[in-house]
Structures are given as structure tokens and as C-alpha cells.
Structure 1
Amino acid sequence: MNLLKSKKLLVGLMMLACSTFIAGCGGSEDKSASGTDVDSYPNKPITMIVTHAAGGDTDYNARLLARLLEEELGQPVVPNNVTGANGSIALEQYKDGDTDGYTIIATNTAALSGNEATGLSDFSYKDFEPVALYGKQAGENIVVRADSPYNNIQELIDASKANPNQLKFGVSMGGGVYVASVILDKEAGAKFTVVDTGDAANRLTALLGGHIDATSIPYSTAKEYIESGQLKTLGSLLSERPSMLPDIPTANETVKDLSVDTLYVVLAPKGTDPAVVEKLNKAIANVVNNNKEYKENVEKMNFQSPWVLSVQDTIKELDAQREHFMKYKEFLQ
């Protein structure tokens, strides 16, 4: 748990270093959205803050959505990556920002809920105005090198029990993958040494290089390595098998509660006019449900089926995931 404490300290130092920048980029004196003309909204460019680095799945989904939202809304939607601490830097910086609807945040729910459950951040989705859940990741997959003797999740768990703390499981501290490692411990009795190896790209490199024995990375990241015979997947962390990958078993088929649904979500600063939120939700829903280019891209690049929820259903889903993660709060902090 020293790794998590170190990362919390780093977050605090980063936030302190950014304080002057935040003061310049935060909200105006008037935090109300009363001045927003909903009928003419939007009438200027919208900034979309992306909480994770360029090239990852959160960034890919956000940029695709932003580009197609421009056509839907008639105004530029400009992505801006503000990274650090598994998304918590950007979320902390913008949760109390301008409420006029011209700054929105794109993140993923595993980071949002995981950061709160681990104590990396002290806020939840309730500190924002949820706009829309607009996509489901094809699933974090528990993967091992192809020459590994383990062919399913149970074999990996059994090996960790037979050799306590000898097998290294790579995670990103504070995120959903770290939550999954705790569930493996508490629900299945797994005995891994949990190693903070950073984001999915770094976890992949560490696994291929033999620095860790297993990890979890998005299927879209692992696919070419699985197909080339360098890695094998033992199962997905999704709560149910995705329609596009029905042959990959879910981890919760082996271990009850071992699921982490990574969903992509757009948030607005707390206090944003509900009418603006609804207008944005409808625009996002139209892109996801009816734009052929969107469908082709998410299916081809991320193995996702188009999926989007209303504002109210988004809130319900966010609440359900938060409850699932917070069950393990005492073991995560």
C-alpha cells in the first residue's frame, strides 16, 4: 500500500504546482448557467477536456465523438488532454469550472470510481453533472505471455496460492485494474505481488519484457499480440461477454464480483444548466445511434458496439459502478 500513498503524495504535489494555472483556467465569478441561451446553444466552440493521454482508448473515443459532435452541433468541439494521476488531475481541476456548457470532460468510469475507492481522489461522479455514458470498452483482459503455463484465470489464481507473492501482477494504482487485483485477493484468495507498472501501454511492455507475470489491458491493446502468438487472454473483466467477442470468458464466471466495466462518459461541471446537459446528451445519442462513421470506427478500432444512455440512466449506471467499487474501499486505501 506504500505505492498508493506515494501516488497520493504525487497527486497533491502536482495539484499544488498547477494551482496558478487552475486559477487562470477555472470558472468565472458567476458560476450559474443563467446566462446561457439554450435555444442558441452552442454558439461558440466547446472545449472537451480529455483526462487520459493521447493514443489510449479514452482519448480515442473522446476524439472520435468530438469530431462527429461538431457536425451535430454546428460548432467546433476541441479536445484538450489534461493528464496525470489516472485522470484525477483533470477531474479535480475542472469539476468546479464554468457552467455555461462550453467546457465538458471526457473520461472513463473505471478511473472515476476507482480513484475515489482507492482514495486517490476525494470526489465522485456526484460532484459533476453527468451528461452521457456513450461507450463500453471491449473489456480489460487478464493476459499472460503465450509461453505461460496458465490457460485460464483459475489456473493463474491457483499458481499464486501455491507460490505466495512470487507472481507479479501489473496494475495502475488507483484505477479499475488495481480494484480488480484487490477483488482477486479478497474474493479468490489470490496471492500476487501487485506492482504499479503504469498505464496500459506500460503494463503491456512490462509483461512482454518479463518484468511481470500477468496484467490486465484493454482487448484493443492486446489484440495484435494475441493474434501474433505473443500473449494469450485468460478472460475479460467485463460483467458480461461483449457481443463482438463472445468467445472470451468473463472473469466473474470464475470469481464472483470480479468485474470492472470500463465505460466512457462525458461530464459537465457541477451546476451546468440541466437543459444544456439534456441538449448535449441528445446530440451525443444521435451520433452514437445514427452516425454510420461512428459505428464503423468503434467496431473496427475498439471492438465496441455503439451504446449510449440517457442522462437519468447514465446516473443510475454510474451509481451502480461506484457502489461496486466502494465495497472494497477498506482494502484499497
Structure 2
Amino acid sequence: MKMKKWLSMIALGTCMAFAAGCGGGDDGAKKDASTYPDKPINLIVTHGAGGDTDYNARLLARLLEKELGQSVVPNNVTGANGSIALEQNKDGDKDGYTIIATNSAALLGNKATGLSDFSFEAFEPVALYGKQAGENIVVRADSPYKSLEELVNASKAAPGTIKYGVSMGGGVYIASVIMDKEVGAKFNVVDTGDASNRLTALLGGHVDATSIPYSAAKEYIESGQLRSLGTLLSERSKLLPDIPSASETYKNLSVDTFYVILAPKGTDPAIVAKLNAAIQKVVKENPEYKTEVEKMNFQAPWVLGVDETKAELQKQLDHFMAFEQYLK
């Protein structure tokens, strides 16, 4: 009996020393969340350096360091409209030290177009922390089209003659499908690549119209080389109130681009909540953040909580998936 009692005491001591292995796992998890982060965080950026997704991610990373007390190190992993980085990291370490920065047009659009077989549900969404100033539907200044309605009507009158530049699989491609199926536009849709290539194609006369983020088109619009016919935002930008939203004329013609932070599926909800709280503090309270996004990207500071983020992502996914049969 003494031997059994002695063994029981050893087992009890072992259990107390290693609570995680003897039913104390919850306490261990709570301790991890409470001390998080205690080492640098790796931020995977799904798009290339210099673009709007990269700009927003790097600005957020720099200012998050002050909130979290640890370095947040951006690392670009590009290709296939973000799907390579997303595929590589969706089942990654769940400790909160590798997180992903992407945009909703890629995250959700890739599933609708068949480029990926997963979307935000394959991750733990942390936050939507920014809203693009809007892809602007632009034409050259010498174009006869003064409004989006004039451009659409011209395409209907002469199907296939007006060349519209897109990047296949992206948000602007989805918008072109919506214009076809919902609005009845009959453009000759041409794959001209990313925003800088679309801009070059338009200025060079290789396409008649395209969609370009306002930040990329601004100097050409202001110098009188290009004309904006409207944005693809679901509502007018607060910082650009004179530019109409396409949805004001065509109800379902909208592709909002949000900037998103994700964590691998199964990441502790307490860590997700802690990250969201820090991101909210940066976006809502940091004057440097406000100055930078308004100056560089014409974005008003905007951020959502975890549950709101999930709801908004689901809403946009449903919008895209309504056109799935035409996108694949």
C-alpha cells in the first residue's frame, strides 16, 4: 500500500508539473494567449512589393510593432493572384506567429473563378482593416464616352468592338462578367495583366477602357489624360465624393476590395482577438496611419471586428459565387 501511495503522489506531482498533459491544457493555452506575442511575427503578403495590398500590409506591420511589442516582418510570397501563398499557409502553425495579409478580391474571387477550391473559411479571419478607394473604370480623355452608361450602350450597339482590359481571375475580371451578365455590356474582354500593364495598354490605345485603382490612375486623371467613369465600389468613397459608384447606375455592379489579415485554421481565438484589438487600435487611433492611408491610397481609416469581418467576407463571397458558372 505504501508503494501505491508513493506512486500516486509521483503521478499527482507529475500532473501538476505538466498540466497540459493531465487535463490542464486549457490553462496552458490561456497562458500562451496572455503572453502572446513573445517573439517576432511573420506576415506573409500574398501580392508583390509596391502594390496596394503590399503597401497596406507593410504600413500595418510597422505600426503593429508598437502595439504588440514585437517585430512584425513582412514576407512577400506571390503568384496565381495570391493563391500560392494562401495554399501554403492555410494549414500552417497555429501559434499566431505566422499570419497572412491579402485582399478580399483575391481571397474570394479565386474560389469563384476556380483558381482555388477554398476561401476565407479555410482560415481564421482576424480583421478587415482597410477598403480600397476603388477600381476606377477609365477611358482616355479623347474617348467619346462621358459616362459608364454611354460606354455600356456603345458596346451593346456594336458587340465585341470595344476592348476592355482586365486581369484574368481577378476582381476586375469578375466585374467584367457582371457587366456582361447583369448589365448586358458586350465588350471584347482582353487579358492585359496587372494594374500597371492595364494602364499602359489604355494609354497606348491597345484597349478602349479598363479598371485601375484610383491611386494608380490619379495623376493621369488630374492631368487630363484619362477620364474616370466611376468606381467599382458599392458606395462612393468618402475621400472622392465626386466620382460616382457604378452601382448607382447598375445595382449589382460592384467589387469592393478589402485588405484582410488571416491566421491559419485552428489558431487560438484568444490570439485572434488580441491581434484584432491591436489592429483596431492602429487603424482607429494612430494618427500616422490615418495620414499615410489618406495620402497614399485615398483610403479613409476603416476596420472591423472578428465577427463583422466574417460576415462581410461571407457577403462578398455570396456576391461573387452568384456568377460562378460564368467565371470558370
Q: What TM-score, normalized by structure 2, do the two folds share?
A: 0.90
Q: 2:227 aligns with which of 229, 232, 244?
A: 232
Tell me what 1:315 maps to: 310
The separation in 2 between residues aligned to 1:237 and 1:229, in whole angstroms, is 21
Determine whether 1:325 maps to 2:317: no
> Hey, what's the Cα distance between the residues in 2 that align with 1:205 and 1:87?
23
What is the percent sequence identity of the aligned residues?
Answer: 74
Aligned CA RMSD, in angstroms, stands at 1.3
Q: What is the Cα deviation at residue 200 of structure 1? A: 0.9
CA distance in 1, matches of 2:29, 2:164: 50
Equivalent-residue separation in structure 2 for 1:221 and 1:260 (angstroms): 17
Amino acid at match of 2:258: L
In structure 2, distance between residues paired with 1:47 and 1:198: 29
What are the Cα deviations for residues 114-169 of structure 1, in whole angstroms up to 9, with x where unaligned?
A: 11101011101000000000001011110011111111101111111122111111
Q: In 2, distance between residues paired with 1:278 and 1:153?
A: 42
For 1:180, give the aligned amino acid: A
Query: Deviation at 1:172?
Result: 1.1
Q: 1:299 aligns with which of 294, 298, 304?
A: 294
Equivalent residue, structure 2, for 1:16: none
Runs of 4+ in 1 over 2 A off after TM superposition: 33-36
What is the SS of the residue equivalent to 2:151?
Answer: helix
Equivalences for residues 163-312 of structure 1 within 5 A: 163-312=158-307
Alignment partners' CA distance in 1, 2:121 and 2:233: 24
Q: Which residue identity does 2:54 align to in structure 1?
A: D
Unaligned runs of 5+ in 2: 1-27
Q: 1:36, CA displacement in angstroms?
A: 7.2
The structure that has the greater radius of gyration is: 2
Matched residue SS, 2:230: strand
Q: Give the counterpart of 1:88 among 83, 90, 93.
A: 83
Equivalent in the alignment of 2:23: none
Where does structure 1 lack aligned partners over 5 or more consecutive residues? 1-32
Task: Give the deviation of 1:75 after TM superposition.
Answer: 0.5
Aligned partners of 1:138 and 1:302 also within 8 Å: yes
Alignment of 1:124-139 (within 5 A): 124-139=119-134
Structure-1 residue corresponding to 2:10: none
Q: Specify which of 147, 153, 166 is matched with residue 152 of structure 1.
A: 147
Kept in 2, the 8 Å contact 1:36–1:100? The answer is no
* Counterpart residue number, 1:55: 50
The letter for the 1-side match of 2:118 is F
1:317 match: secondary structure: helix
- More moved, 287-296 vs 166-175: 166-175
Give the TM-score taking structure 1 as reference length.
0.89
Q: Compute the displacement of 1:254 (Å).
A: 1.4
Q: Distance in 2 between matches of 1:304 and 1:257?
A: 23
Question: Counterparts of 2:142 and 2:68 in 1: how far apart (Å)?
Answer: 50
Count residues with an aligned counterpart: 302
CA–CA distance in 2 between the matches of 1:154 and 1:301? Answer: 30
1:161 alignment partner in structure 2: 156
